[in-house]
Amino acid sequence: MSELTFYTHPMSRGRVVRWMLEEVGIAYSVKAMEFGPEMKTEDYLAINPMGKVPAIKHGNTVVTEVAAICAYLADQFPDKKLSPSPQSPERGVYYRWLFFMAGPFEMATSAMTYDWKIDSSNAQAVGCGQVEDSINTLEKALTENAYICGDQFTAADILVSSYLWWETMQKNIPPNEVFKQYIERMESRPAAKRANELDDELAKHLKPVTA
């Protein structure tokens, strides 16, 4: 098995990838990166030219972007059953929600956070459309099923619940009982608890993050 290196900071989206790695249950090494100059060094820019975390290097393969990393790991370790089989109808649903969270949902919640002007005059031109539509669409999906893809926990649930937890904790989206119950179910998974413990411990050894 190829060695996997995980580049992260515990106060970043790296926490999502950490959870995914713990669900996969493989050995990996961690390269903790401080925000600032360390992420802009020549060595790290060779990994991610954006100079951001998270990223993974698996053998000779480098993957950046949270949704891409989660999808890649699910495919690399199919025995963990973290994605529907390629032949199943749920595979399309799985792709839908991975890209929905990385695209429309993150754009919509960023618009809410930073007061971007998205209204009836320009909603058709932006990826998230009307901001409230992204929130309502996700709520409807989580009302209908135990998991975002139906009856199976997948990597998409890691992405969905992590993003919902962050936006709820930051009060970027209004309180929502459907989201609250879903987050609590997902966060109760042993791998989620292990991941949080590991990142909380790592955070003690890095510089505090300042605004």
Residues 107, 101 contacting (CB under 8 angstroms): no
Roughly how many angstroms between the first and final C-alpha of the chain, as a whole number? 40
pLDDT of residue 2: 64
Residues 139 and 54 in one domain: no
Token pair for 49: 């030219």
Residues 182, 161 contacting (CB under 8 angstroms): yes
Average predicted confidence (pLDDT) for the chain:
93
Residues 117 and 183 in one domain: yes
Residue 38 belongs to domain with CATH number: 3.40.30.10
Residue range of the domain that includes 50: 4-81
CB atoms within 10 A of CB 18: 27
Average pLDDT over residues 123-147: 85
| Percent of the chain with pLDDT strictly greater than 90 | 79
In-domain check, residue 206: no
Per-residue pLDDT tens over the stretch 38-78: 999 999 999 999 999 999 999 999 999 999 999 999 999 99
- Residue 62: partners with Cβ closer than 8 Å, 6 or more residues away: 47, 48, 55, 56
Measured in degrees and rounded to the nearest 5, phi and psi for residue 125 equal -95, -10
Residues 12, 65 contacting (CB under 8 angstroms): no
Q: What is the tally of structural domains in the chain?
A: 2
| Percent of the chain with pLDDT strictly greater than 70 | 96
